[in-house]
Every structure is written in C-alpha cells, then in structure tokens.
Amino acid sequence: MGDGRADPRRRVPRTDALLAEPRLATAAVSLGRDRVKAAVRQAQDRARRGEIDPEQVRDAALAALPAATPRAVLNATGVLLHTNLGRAALSDAAVTAMVAAAGHTDVELDLHTGRRARRGRDALDALAAAVPSAGAVHVVNNGAAALVLAATALAADAEIVVSRGELVEIGDGFRLPDLLTSTGARLREVGTTNRSTLADYAAAVGPRTGFVLKVHPSNFRITGFTSAVPVRRLADLGVPVVVDIGSGLLAPDPLLPDEPDAASTLRAGAALVTASGDKLLGGPQAGLLLGRAELVERLRRHPLARALRVDKLTLAALAATLGDPVTPTRSALHADPAALRDRTERLRDAVAADGHKIEVVPSVAVVGGGGAPGVELESWALSLPERYAAALRTGEPPVLGRVAHGRLLLDLRCVPPHADAAVRAAVLAVPGDD
C-alpha cells in the first residue's frame, strides 16, 4: 500500500481555516459568508481533482469571487480630486455620520414634537452658517443637477444669456449647452470664445431673458487676448445672475487666488450660486444651491426638486463635513512640502535596503476634479521603475501612482500619514530589482 501522507488531497486546506484567511474573511463581509464558502469548496474540489495545487486553493477561491466594489485604494497620484478615484475622500467625521445614518434616523422628524420636520435641516443649517451671505440654501444630488434645476425653474421657455467662452464640456462627453437646452430653455450666446463684454450681455438681455449665466471654466484656461465680465457688473443688468462656480469653494483660499468662491460671488451680486459638494469642499457628491431666498424657495418647490433629492447618507456626510472643515482634501491642499519630503525620504529608506531601486524626486501635485487649472502644488514623490505600476495597482490595497518619463511616481500628498506603512508593504511585495 502507498503512503497516504503523500496524497496531495490531504494537503487541501480546511474550509474553516480558509474562511479565516484575512482576504476571504473581508470578502465574506461584503459578499456574504455563503457565497465565499461556495467559492472555497469549489476551489477545494479543483485541488482534489488535481487541477490546481493545494497551496493554490485560497487564491483560486478569491479569483472566483467578484471584485468587491468599490475597492478602497491609496491615491498616490498627486491629484487631490481625482475623478476616477471618486474625487474627495470623506473625513472621519463624515464617515461616522454616514454609518450612524445607515439605520433609522430623524432625517424628517422633530424628536421633541414628534412631528414631521424639514428634511436635512442639520446639513442645510450648516451650509447656511458656512455662507452667511446666502439668503437661503438647498442641496440636490450633484453639481449638474443644481444647474439643471435652476434652468428648469427659472428659464423654461425662456432664454439663458451666456458667453460662448463658457459653454464648456464638463466630462465624459457631457456638454453644458446640451444640459441646459434639455430643460426647455433656449441659449442666447454672446461674445466670442476669448472675449465677451458688458455690451454683449446688455444687447442680449430682454423680455425673454430668464437669467444671465456665468460659468467658471474650471478645467481649462484661456490666456492671451481675452476679456470677461465680472459678476458685479452683470448684476446691474436687471435680471438674475446665476453663477456656476463648480469646485465648491465656499470661502476664499490664499492658495487658490483665481478660484471663485460662493461667499465672494454672492457678495458681488449673484442671485444664485451653484457648486459641487465633492470637490474643494471635501464632502459627498452633492449639488449646492445658495442665493436669494425667493429664488431658492422657487427651486425647492419645483416638482423636479423631488427627483433630484439627496438621500439621508449624503445629508449626514455633508453636515459632518461642514461641521469639521479639516477634511482630507483641505489637509492635502495645505500639506507642508518639507513634511512631505521627510515622509517620502523615510519611506525610501524603509524599502531601498530590500533591493528596490528607488529615489526621492520633486513632484508637482494638482487640484484636479475640474478645479484650479494651472495651479501647481510643490510636492515630492518616490520614483520607481514603471513596471511597479501594474503590480501596485492590482495589489492589496491597490496603490495608484502616475507614470511619467518611464518611471512610476508615488506622491504622498493625498496619502494619509497612517497609510505610509501600507504603501511600504505594497512596494516590498513587488519583487525587487537585481
């Protein structure tokens, strides 16, 4: 008789041991224990049939499972608001608030009276307090929705006067003219691509004007022979001025002198300001509407507002973000370059001794997400061979950098300091250079 101990089937890991493996245990949380257990048993059967080695059972089970979506990644691209990575990372306070709001909440209930209350009042009160120059505020589900609601409520069957130089494409093929005309409004274009004057606007304003629209072209710049009309001068035309500032900056920031903010725009005479919540504000995806009380109320009561309503999780995260403005986005924006260099050098020293050809190089970070085009933030990065890019991107956790001139650059500006150890482990997991 042969030695049974040589039978590879005896080396197939037990089900309970596999389910306790960290990656399978994590998958069980998001996908359900029964689903993961079924994948484990299928992989065990494959090993017993000799299709795979017993040591490959865990990886085979993982490969059979759908990828958990979304997966948390470490953003080492140097792009603060990377659209492909979900733009703003939420603060700990916002995450805690969303978890608390996942169950039953008082989102539309006054616990003191037991009666129905204004939906999302905490978030709306916090937004109003953050921008005192706004007569009233409202929140919808994204920035484009805010503009669509304004166009529908204020300019259906009327004209929107807008500069040709501000009819932008906002991403993924969506163009502002198409967005606006889908509401039934008609566009009255003025000026040229590079120059618009107050006289251009004045000649276009008339009885059919719903409002004048000013759009901050936040993902590009036109330089040279240009002119544009400031909000304070447009406000004298006798019709409402709606300004899409885009990036969600509520107050001026010295690092972003050319980025419009809601408070200053309203003080300049705008009747209504629209912005995104998941950009420089550092909050969840949301469309912010701030302005004259009668206009905001008109928008709030429009039937379309119901279709654009935000859920309780967004409201909770937005309120927490406004209550604790030291968000990951703000921390990354104002990170000290010297401190970033120290972190990067420490990380280099931690991995260089393990055979990895790595160096610290100057880096340029950007805001991204359609905000502050042309603004360059001094930063530092680990420079690795380009082959590391795919290995780190598909690792656990995924680490995303940027490839430039045949090198992979890992910029730590958007990586929280506590995650440096995870970046180190990810780099060390890639076979070093000979």
- pLDDT tens-digit series, residues 295-313: 999 999 999 999 999 999 9
Helix (H) or strand (E) holding 211: strand 209-215
Mean of pLDDT values over 83-94: 95
Total residues found in the chain within this entry:
434
The confidence score (pLDDT) of residue 115 equals 96
Whole-number Å distance between alpha carbons of 430 and 366: 28
Bridging pattern class, strands 74-75 and 399-400:
parallel
Q: Is 287 helix (H, G, I), strand (E, B) or coil?
A: strand
**Cα radius of gyration rounded to whole Å, the chain:** 27
Contacts of residue 282, defined as CB under 8 A and 6 or more positions apart, other chains included, come to: 88, 89, 90, 91, 321, 325, 327, 328, 329, 330
Query: H-type helices in 172-292, by residue range?
Result: 176-181, 198-204, 231-234, 262-267
Encoded amino acid at 256, one letter: L
- Other Cβ atoms within 10 Å of 69 Cβ, number: 6
Q: Is the pLDDT of residue 126 over 90?
A: yes
pLDDT band at residue 27 under the 50/70/90 scheme: confident
* pLDDT value of position 354: 60
How much is the average pLDDT of 423-433?
86
Residue carrying the six token digits 């608030």 = 97
> What average pLDDT does the segment 166-182 reach?
85
d(C-alpha 196, C-alpha 165), whole Å:
8
Which ranges in 228-366 belong to alpha helices (H)?
231-234, 262-267, 293-300, 303-307, 312-323, 328-333, 337-352
Asked if residue 25 has pLDDT above 70, the reply is: yes
Q: Is the pLDDT of residue 80 over 60?
A: yes
pLDDT of amino acid 209? 97
Q: pLDDT value at position 1?
A: 43
Choice between 368 and 9, residue whose per-residue pLDDT is larger: 368
Q: What pLDDT score was predicted for residue 356?
A: 62
Residue 18 token pair: 């596999």
Q: Is the pLDDT confidence value at 252 over 80?
A: yes
More confident residue, 124 or 227: 124
pLDDT tens figures, 156-172: 889 999 999 998 887 67
Report the share of the chain in percent with pLDDT over 90. 76
pLDDT for the residue numbered 358: 86
Let me know: does 301 contact 63? Beta carbons within 8 Å: no
Cis peptide before 397 (omega within 30 of 0): yes
Model confidence at 357: pLDDT above 80 = no
Residue-wise pLDDT for 203-214, tens only, equals 999 999 999 999
CA distance 202 to 124: 35
**What confidence score (pLDDT) does residue 433 get?**
61
**304 in helix, strand or coil?**
helix
Alpha-carbon span 42 to 39, nearest angstrom: 5
The chain-wide mean pLDDT, for the chain, equals 91
Structure tokens at 262: 């809601």
With bands split at pLDDT 50, 70 and 90, how would you rate the model's confidence at 91?
Answer: very high
Secondary structure of the chain: what % helix, strand, coil (to 5)?
40, 20, 40
Predicted local distance difference test score (pLDDT) of residue 393: 93
Least confident of 165-179, 216-230, 249-263: 216-230
Predicted confidence (pLDDT) at residue 32 exceeds the cutoff of 70 = yes
Angle, CA of 38, 63 and 27, to the nearest 5°:
60
**CA quadruple 147, 148, 151, 152: dihedral sign:** negative
pLDDT higher than 90, residue 173 = no
Tokens representing residue 400 in the block: 């995303």
382, pLDDT greater than 90 = yes
Q: What is the rounded average pLDDT of the residues 77-101?
A: 95
Q: Which amino acid is at 208?
A: R
Q: How far apart are CA 362 and CA 174, in angstroms?
A: 35
Question: For position 274, what pLDDT does the model report?
Answer: 97
What integer pLDDT is reported at residue 4 of this predicted model?
47
Least Cα distance to 406 among 428, 390, 385 occurs for: 385
Report how many helices (DSSP H) and strands (DSSP E) the chain contains, helices first.
18, 17
H/E element, 28 = helix 22-31
